[in-house]
Structure 1
Amino acid sequence: MDPRMSPRRGPTAGGPAAADVAGLPAATGDPGGHEDRPAPGRRRGGPHRHPWAGRSSGRTLREARPDAVGLDAEVLAQLPGIIRAGLENSPPRFAGASLLVASRAGIAYEHADGQALRWQDASTELPRDQWIPARTDTLFDLASISKIVTATAVMQHIEQGLLRLEDRVADQLPRFAEHGKGEVTVQQLLTHVSGLPAWIDLCTAHPDVPSRIDAVLTAPLQTSPGSTYTYSDLGLITLGLIVEKLSGTGLDEYVREHITAPLGMTETMYNPPAQLRDRIAATEYVDADGRLVHGHVHDENAWSLGGVAGHAGVFSTARDLAVFAQMFLDGGRCGGARILEASTVQDMFTDRIAEVTGAGGARRGLGPELAAWTYHAGLTSPYSGVHTGFTGTSLVIDPLTDTIVILLTNSVHPTREWSSTSVTRREVSTCVAHALGVVPQQIRGGWQAGDADASTATLSFAAELRADLQAGLPATAAELHLDLFAHLETDHDILTVEASADQGETWLPLPGRLEAPDEDPVEVPDGRITGWGRRVVWDGTFALADGGAPLVGEVQIRLRLTTGGPPRGLGARVGRLRVLDGGHELFDSHRPDDRREILADGWVLGG
């Protein structure tokens, strides 16, 4: 993908009506488009290189100082306050947390706070001497992060030639063909476009494991295969059953033998033994059973299947999970263990569903969730992955900065009704993005906006545009020039460049062009910009014209940023603003008098 994106540095132009919005350079998996673009280190127009391609170093995770792996320790020092704010929220977003940040194969930051066990039931705290503090080695129920473990097992079978992505599921599990599911493929299960429902009740609706498995296999479709994205537990349960059939062992045995043991992940397991209970984060109090879930899987359907299922059931620590993540970053290897081929990892982290979900929709590889603004936040790119878990867990990998962020919490302790970890997940990822210097240094002192929920921010000034005085020559429009960094949630947050020649009665979107070193230039025909921005500073040129006719006289110029919901990206930053009319510089924000004329509503100057 991004050619010039050094490991520490990528806008699509797009908007609510994607076809009407110009996109900054897109690459395979980019929410703003799907063309191949040059890769890092390549010149403009060169061949595309996927950022997950060619990774096969086999590094081993080690402890490292933040500055030794490209992280700013002073910025990372904000992380404990972010975790503490989640703990002190009313109601708390989680009871306890374990956080790990690794970059360039170095574990640069670990932190734990709160309680692994605090509550007796949904309203009663245990006596303080029975509380168990969360530690960096606390085991958490990973919930749906287990799906990535299952996807890895499936891809191992594909590498061995025992299974193909295009294989029909019913060829492996004939019972699955019921209710018109005979053409559903393995890939459709991995990418959640099979048409299966998200969930069915196995725990109370069926009496035993065989009947529950049969209910999974015979569940009817909700939509036609390949037509709709519906995140489905049933698909992953089914994939787990395929692994068991092909391997001849239970899913837990297979994962231990072929994934966790080779990687040395000794603290990753299904159904942890009772002697580890004091190291395990408790989850929910279940009113119906009058019990606190502590030491066994929280997911009811996974529990009803014996604690081992393709969609949930794995317990792990932040350090063990980091080893698993590093395996992906290093092309399927970690240390001396080869879990997957590098090409398989690239396949897993390449979007497969953009044509189904459209601009601004979900992105999925073969298992991993990609470009998930809701928790990747400041680290979001078309290539960032991987998954969250309902219990309050999340794993983020950014291949562009070679970085792993793991946040394990017990957000459902004592009840799932209290709160969500989403805000804390976003704040953690964004803090790490700033520590990595994702916002380029040269733009940090500019005006910034985009961190307010469902808001509109405007940056405006006026310029007096002259009419062309040279008789006989065609009139030419003056131009707005600006320095721009944009990291905006695709199709939900929009930056519009516009002008008014009637004192703000009407506003015209300005056609323009964006350029950056080593990037293909991007046309912005209607002045609207969205997307992840490729982590570069763009030089924008916008014609001050109405349908090709130059604007003259006093013209108001405005940059308007609208956010569609909770802010999830790094927002937009604007540096120098200039208006050039032929050889005349009519406005320059570097001149103090001109700078004072800029009206900033919702934009602030950075530091």
Structure 2
Amino acid sequence: MNRILPVFLALCAFPIVALAQQGTAPAFRPEKIRELDAVITQAIADGKCPGGVLWLEHAGTAYHRAYGSRCVEPTGEPMTEETIFDVASLTKVIATTTAVMLLVEKEQVKLAEKVQTYLPEFTGDGREKITVRQLLTHTSGLRPDLPPGGPPGYEATLDRVFRERPTAAPDTAFRYSDLNFILLGAMVARVSGKPLNEFCAERIFGPLKMSDTLFRPPATLRGRIAPTTRETPRGLVHDPTAQLMGGVAGHAGLFTTVADLARFARMLLGRGSLESVHLLLPETVQLMTTVQSPAALADRRGLGWDIDSRFSGPRGTVFPVGSYGHTGWTGGSLWIDPASETFVIFLSNRNHPTEAGNVIKLWKVIGTLAAEAVGKGGKEDVGGGK
């Protein structure tokens, strides 16, 4: 019964079109929107995820919809657009990268400066050669993550990261690493004098009115939170290292909704501004979202953001190099194309109730169809009203 429920709910869900601006031409090709609905519904039927939420926006017009189930055990719950997701590594770009760049704008952090300048414990055995920029581009030479286990506690876990030895010289290889962003999150806290979660709430989420975006969600929100694995209590971050750190870390721990992420993406398309809020300078957004990794490396990354690497599946086959985005282990993806004023978000809890779910191929198909959906269409186009 639990396998049937997600499909039934997906087929019964009704699409919602919003944010249509007066005078805006039809935004989406209807046949591509139908294909998007179909591939997500099929992925749910195939057990790739219990459900998900899609948000596609182009030039101010959006198509957004919930599919399938938020929870399939111990009882079923329909997915809703208000569902709060553990977005795993999307934390790296939504929270940590943005926080670092706010400090860069204030000249409290310099990209070319050694990490040990801000975290003196991170020195010796080649650590003293690593710069802030190399952490942001995943070219520090650090390995991907800490081994499982270890004593609980923020400081105890951070001390383990401080003692990590680089396994490659800086700027000689691309290696996606949670350790880079654990260090960046700690750096934000040291430099600002506030824990990462407080800094982000005050300087990013509050100003952008991202009211459902936070670390360590309280019990009062538990009913809206998409669960992950059976072993992970609902509302607790899934990532084991973030768990050891108390739920606040630079690499994982953020919870958010699709609507809040849409506000964030709109800010980036606005070159750092959203409505009356000027969060980042246009030059900062340009710097973050253009290639900053060494030219000799095949994987091309911005500061935090993915541009053209082995992890760029959500770009699909149509969005150009020059678009950018990121993914999260729990099943979320965000891809933004400034050239066409388009972004697409897909959030899911693909590892509920187990890690058997997999949306990597789905991300690529969604990215392709989203790009194909944007263009001049006929009178039936979704989003064509005033």
| TM beyond 0.5 | yes
Q: 1:163 matched to which residue of 2?
A: 109
Q: Is the 8 A contact 1:104 1:402 kept in 2?
A: yes
Cα offset for 1:95? 1.0
Corresponding residue of 1:370: 307
Pairing 1:73–2:12 present? no
Asked whether 1:111 is paired with 2:111, we answer no
Q: 2:326–2:335: 8 Å Cα contact kept in structure 1?
A: yes
Q: Which amino acid aligns with 2:239?
A: D
Offset of 1:70 from its aligned partner? 2.8
Say if 2:48 is the partner of 1:93. yes
Shift of 1:375: 1.6
CA distance in 2, matches of 1:223, 1:398: 33
Corresponding residue for residue 355 of structure 1: 295
> Which has more strand, going by share of residues?
1
The 1:69/1:260 distance shift into structure 2, 3 A limit, reads farther
- The 1-side partners of 2:20 and 2:171 are apart by 45
Q: Give the match for residue 164 of structure 2.
A: 219
Equivalent residue, structure 1, for 2:220 = 275
Alignment map for 1:59-458 (pairs within 5 Å) = 63-64=19-20, 68=25, 70-89=27-46, 92-106=47-61, 108-119=62-73, 126=74, 130-148=75-93, 149-201=95-147, 204-286=149-231, 292-353=232-293, 355-358=295-298, 362-371=299-308, 373-416=312-355, 418-437=356-375
SS at match of 1:382: coil
SS at match of 2:66: strand
CA contact (8 A) 2:319 2:371 kept: no
Distance 1:412 1:205 in 2: 24
Counterpart amino acid of residue 325 in structure 2? V
Aligned counterparts of 2:313 and 2:80: Cα–Cα separation in 1:
26
Amino acid across the alignment from 2:254: V
Q: Which residue of 2 aligns with 1:581?
A: none
Give 1:69 deviation, angstroms: 5.3
CA distance in 1, matches of 2:132, 2:263: 27
Q: What are structure 2's unaligned runs of at least 5 residues?
A: 1-17, 378-386
| Closer/same/farther in 2, CA of residues 171 and 69 from structure 1, 3 Å limit | farther
Q: 1:103 to 1:69 in 2, by over 3 A?
A: farther
TM-score by length of 2: 0.89
The Cα offsets for residues 159-191 of structure 1, whole Å up to 9 and x where unpaired, read as: 001111101000111110132211100000000
**Contact 2:216–2:253 under 8 Å retained in 1:** yes
CA distance in 1, matches of 2:305, 2:358: 21
Q: Deviations over 1:111-131 (max 9, x none)?
A: 111111113xxxxxx2xxx31
Task: Give the 5 Å matches for 1:1-20.
Answer: none
Tell me the C-alpha RMSD between the 2 structures: 1.9
SS at structure 1 position matched to 2:327: strand
Paired residue type of 1:413 = H
Identity %: 36
In 2, Cα distance between the equivalents of 1:163 and 1:180? 21
CA distance in 1, matches of 2:137, 2:296: 11
Deviations 1:338-394 (A, max 9, x none): 111000000001112252423xxx210011001354221034322111100000000
Looking at structure 1, the residues matched to 282 and 26 of structure 2 have their Cα atoms a distance apart, in angstroms, of: 23
Spell out, residue by residue over 1:451-495, the C-alpha distance to the aligned partner (whole angstroms, 9 max, x if none).
xxxxxxxxxxxxxxxxxxxxxxxxxxxxxxxxxxxxxxxxxxxxx
Kept in 2, the 8 Å contact 1:71–1:435? The answer is yes
1:486-525 equivalent positions in 2, closer than 5 A: none
Mapped partners of 1:404, 1:364: distance in 2: 18
1:371–1:380: 8 Å Cα contact kept in structure 2?
no
CA contact (8 A) 2:66 2:80 kept: yes
Deviations 1:407-438 (A, max 9, x none): 0000111111x132012111111111211149
8 Å contact 1:371–1:381 — kept in the other structure? Answer: no
CA distance in 1, matches of 2:90, 2:314: 14
**1:378/1:429 contact within 8 Å kept:** yes
Q: How far does residue 207 in structure 1 lie from its aligned partner after superposition?
A: 4.1
TM-score (norm 1): 0.57
Amino acid at match of 1:182: E
CA distances 1:228-278 after superposition (whole Å, capped 9, x unpaired): 100010000100111001111110000000000000000111111111111
Larger radius of gyration: 1
**SS of the residue 1:174 aligns to:** coil
Unaligned runs of 5+ in 1: 1-61, 120-125, 287-291, 441-607
Deviations 1:84-139 (A, max 9, x none): 111011xx111110110111133x211111111113xxxxxx2xxx3121111111
Contact 1:394 1:425 in 2 (8 A): yes
Could you tell me which residue of structure 2 aligns to residue 446 of structure 1? Answer: none
**Aligned-partner SS, 1:378:** coil
